[in-house]
Structures are given as structure tokens and as C-alpha cells.
């Protein structure tokens, strides 16, 4: 359990009251004394994320008010850690909502990316009621921290080799088997599109392959886009569009963090993790617009734009995943700007033909307050990927439905798995919220963890 959490029965910790907008007068009426007078003097109105320390009349701390606004943000307690003094605190009263989510919000509020600047610090502790599983909350927080750290690390220190090292560290911690297919070995083992996308970079492309769990358990395979930096290839991105491209391995970061959660929870599954790790760079041997690439599936793919490289490396990895006929394939990728145009940065779309799975994802998304939205695999748009010289073009020739056509392209490479779902995530928080600083962000993994626990948990 994270050292910011303790569980005990006594109430010696300083109380924290959660107050909605417009309810401060009610709170003052039921809590007379110096604290109530200070609430009136301070002008505190219960605004979301606002924290007010209450004096006890003798120089001490009587309690804390946390504004929750309209109550719509279950993680608003993420505003507390940086404001509270050192000590032990507890949520007080009956209107603190979901305590487990409040605890997770508190934990997420302690995240700092300190690899290059700053130092780790100690935090005030939150006393959890016995009804809250502190280890489970800590498991979720550790996974989010892992994904954030990986995404926040600049590409100079998060190359395909570095990403493989990070994955191997997670594998070693859980005694999972680990294998990497690297460089020209990708051609020898028939991963031609992973090789083509990554061959121009100074660090060789590779396919990361991790396995864990008993061999005859239900098979769940995670596939994550690991483009450690994306210049756009020969269809070069403008400089403004390259600024965040260290996050283009966000899909890989998220599936690795999800795998960590699943292994820590010891779910009875046969887990496999596949990450095609590449840098989409520019040199004399870079793949070109108009090239036709072979694929692991045997489908020939015409390249419409080298800046749509993620779906190419995913396709080879998805075929590898599909060959084992798993019960479920989950792929995650920072794939298209079209998804952001449609749904914005906070609401990732997902695509699946499995109606039952879609319903389960929706339930888990709501249960975990982990926003996800189903988008359609609209079959008429599949024709937009036709090629005059190859089996398929990997992009359409128009500006519309880019996220949908990307999902339709990927679907061609999965046939044998019982179910497949594709997530087109952003992997980044562009605006700070309590517990969610600007920077790399894990999206969808808490919902997926909840779903897989419901399916395969004890």
C-alpha cells in the first residue's frame, strides 16, 4: 500500500469536510466556532478544488474544507496533498461521496515527474476507513504513475530500447517471460511493417513480447502502439505538431500499466503483452509515400502518408496476437487527431463488433469514472481504403472519419480472436485538474482493469 494511506479505527486524524458550492452556510450553521467564522471571512464558496484550512482558536488546525463544486468530479481530493500540512487526515461527514475514488484522487494528487527537476517529497497521510481496500487504490495509482512517467519522459531517454527496458523491468517484477525481436530479425520473423516504419531511426525497431499466467487460463492479449517519437516520416510534421510526439508511445505505456495491475492482482488469465516499439524517423532508407509494404498477414498495404505509421506497426502485432486465438485482444494507441476532433482530449473512443463487450466497457467506464465512448465501425467507410495497386491503402484519400477508417484498417488484421476492441486514446492531459496535472495521462486502463476483474477475478 502507498505510504500516504493508513487504515485505523480511531478518529484522531484531522477531519476534511467536502462542501458543495452554495452549501457553506449550512456547514457553518452545524459547526460553530472559530472555523465557521473563518469560512465567512475568507469568502470560501465551495468552488471545486478550493481548500480552506480552519483554525481552532489556539494556533492549531481544527479541520479542512474541500470545495467540490457541483460534485461531478470524483477525484477532486487530488487538490489536497499539496495544500495540507504534514499529518494525518480523514474524510468527515456523510457527503464525501465514493471514498475509494476520493482516496484515488488524493493519491493521484501526489504525482510529480521528477526525473530532471525537483526531488521526491513526503506527503500528508489519508486515513482510510476499513471499507476501502487501500492496496487496491494503491494498485490503481501505481499503474497511473507508471504510464505518466513513461509518457512524460522525452524521446531522447525513451527510445525503443528504453521502452523495452521499462517493460522488462515490469516483467521481471512479476516473473513473466520476456522476449524482444529486434532490427533485421523482424524481417526474418515476418514483421515487415514494424521494420519498415522503424528502420530509418538510429535505434532499431523491435517487438516486445511478454507472457504471464498459467498456459490454459483464458487468453487476454494487450497490444500497444509504441512509437517513441513521430517526426511524421517523409511526410514530415510541422514543428508545432512534433512538440508532443514523445507521447506517441502512450498506447504502449497504458497497456504496460494495465498489465502491471493485472499481474499485481493475480488475475487467473493467460496474459500476453505485445508492443511494437519504433521511432518514425527520416533518413535515406525511410519508407515513402506510395510504397507498398507487405504485412505479416500477407495483405499488401499502400502507404498514403508516412505520418499514419501507428496503424502499420499495430497491424503486424495484431496478427501475431490473433494467431493464438485469444479470448480477447485489447489494443490501445494514440492513433488519430480525428478522434480528438470528434471527442476532445478527455474522452477516448473505442471500437468493437462485440455488443456484449461494448456494454461491459460502458458499465466499467461508469463504475470507475474513466471516460470512454463507443464509436461505430461503419462498414460503408471501409471502401474508402481501396487501393489501385495493393490490397488496401492504410488511409483514405479524404478528410472525414479518420478515426473510424483507422479502426476499420486494424480490423482487417484480426480474424481468429473471440473479441477485439481498439482504443484511440490521447494519452495527455492538456489542462490541469485536481490529481491530473498537465502531461502524460493513463486513459481507459482503470475501466479495463475493472472489466477484467469482473470477468476473471476470484
- E-strand spans in 71-129? 88-92, 125-128
Instruction: Kindly name the residue from 311, 340, 411, 433 that is annotated as catalytic.
Output: 311
Cα gap 102→376, rounded to integer Å: 33
- Is position 325 annotated as part of the catalytic site? no
- Residue 168 near residue 178, CB atoms below 8 Å: yes
- E-strand spans in 204-269? 206-212, 219-224, 226-230
Instruction: Kindly name the residue from 112, 237, 374, 455 that is annotated as catalytic.
Output: 237
Cα gap 447→444, rounded to integer Å: 5
Q: Among 67, 458, 54, 61, which Cα is nearest to 269's?
A: 458
The crossing angle, in degrees rounded to 10, of helices 445-456 and 134-152 is 140
- Is position 412 annotated as part of the catalytic site? no
Cβ atoms within 10 Å, residue 358: 17
Cα gap 312→192, rounded to integer Å: 9
- Residue 68 near residue 46, CB atoms below 8 Å: yes
Q: Among 72, 56, 55, 63, which Cα is nearest to 91's?
A: 63
In the three-class reduction of DSSP (H, G, I as helix; E, B as strand; rest coil), residue 239 is classed as helix
Backbone angles phi, psi at 37, to 5 degrees: -65, -40
**Nine-digit cell string for 385:** 481504403
Cα gap 408→268, rounded to integer Å: 31
Estimate to the nearest angstrom the gap between the alpha carbon of 38 and the chain centroid: 41
**Residues composing the chain:** 458
Catalytic residue set: 237, 311
Amino acid at each position: 500500500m502507498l505510504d500516504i494511506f493508513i487504515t485505523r479505527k480511531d478518529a484522531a486524524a484531522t477531519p476534511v469536510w467536502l462542501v458543495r458550492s452554495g452549501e457553506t452556510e449550512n456547514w457553518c450553521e452545524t459547526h460553530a466556532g472559530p472555523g465557521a467564522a473563518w469560512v465567512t471571512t475568507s469568502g470560501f464558496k465551495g468552488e471545486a478544488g478550493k481548500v480552506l484550512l480552519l483554525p481552532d482558536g489556539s494556533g492549531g488546525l481544527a479541520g479542512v474544507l474541500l470545495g467540490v463544486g457541483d460534485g461531478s468530479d470524483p477525484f477532486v481530493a487530488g487538490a489536497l496533498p499539496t495544500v495540507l500540512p504534514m499529518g494525518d487526515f480523514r474524510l468527515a461527514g456523510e457527503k464525501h461521496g465514493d471514498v475509494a475514488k476520493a482516496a484515488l484522487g488524493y493519491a493521484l494528487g501526489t504525482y510529480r515527474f521528477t526525473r530532471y527537476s525537483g526531488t521526491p517529497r513526503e506527503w500528508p497521510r489519508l486515513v482510510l476507513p476499513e471499507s476501502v481496500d487501500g492496496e487496491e487504490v494503491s494498485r490503481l495509482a501505481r499503474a497511473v504513475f507508471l504510464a505518466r512517467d513513461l509518457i512524460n519522459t522525452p524521446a531522447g531517454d525513451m527510445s525503443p530500447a528504453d521502452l523495452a527496458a521499462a517493460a522488462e523491468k515490469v516483467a521481471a517484477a512479476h516473473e513473466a517471460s520476456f522476449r524482444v525481436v529486434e532490427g533485421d530479425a523482424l524481417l526474418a520473423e515476418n514483421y515487415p511493417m514494424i521494420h519498415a516504419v522503424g528502420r530509418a531511426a538510429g535505434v532499431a525497431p523491435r517487438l516486445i513480447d511478454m507472457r504471464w499466467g498459467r498456459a490454459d487460463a483464458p487468453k487476454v492479449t494487450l497490444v500497444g502502439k509504441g512509437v517513441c517519437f513521430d517526426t511524421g516520416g517523409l511526410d514530415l510534421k510541422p514543428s508545432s505538431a512534433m512538440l508532443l510526439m514523445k507521447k506517441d508511445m502512450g498506447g504502449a505505456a497504458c497497456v504496460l500499466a494495465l498489465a502491471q495491475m493485472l499481474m499485481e492482482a493475480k488475475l487467473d488469465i493467460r496474459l500476453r503483452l505485445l508492443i511494437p516499439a519504433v521511432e518514425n524517423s527520416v533518413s535515406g532508407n525511410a519508407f515513402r509515400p506510395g510504397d507498398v509494404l507487405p504485412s505479416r498477414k500477407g495483405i499488401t498495404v499502400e502507404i498514403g502518408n508516412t505520418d499514419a505509421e501507428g496503424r502499420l506497426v499495430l497491424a503486424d502485432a495484431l496478427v501475431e496476437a490473433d494467431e493464438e486465438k485469444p479470448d480477447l485482444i485489447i489494443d490501445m494507441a494514440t492513433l488519430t487527431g480525428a478522434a480528438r476532433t470528434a471527442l476532445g482530449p478527455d474522452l477516448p473512443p473505442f471500437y468493437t463488433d462485440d455488443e456484449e463487450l461494448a456494454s461491459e466497457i460502458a458499465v466499467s467506464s461508469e463504475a470507475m469514472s474513466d471516460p470512454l465512448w463507443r464509436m461505430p465501425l461503419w462498414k460503408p467507410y471501409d471502401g474508402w481504403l481501396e487501393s489501385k495497386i495493393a490490397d488496401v491503402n492504410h488511409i483514405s484519400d479524404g478528410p472525414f472519419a479518420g478515426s473510424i477508417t483507422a479502426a476499420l484498417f486494424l480490423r482487417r488484421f484480426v480474424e481468429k480472436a473471440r473479441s477485439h476492441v481498439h482504443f484511440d486514446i490521447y494519452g495527455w492531459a492538456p489542462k490541469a485538474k485536481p490529481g491530473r496535472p498537465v502531461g502524460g495521462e493513463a486513459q481507459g486502463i482503470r475501466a479495463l482493469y475493472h472489466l477484467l476483474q469482473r470477468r476473471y477475478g476470484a
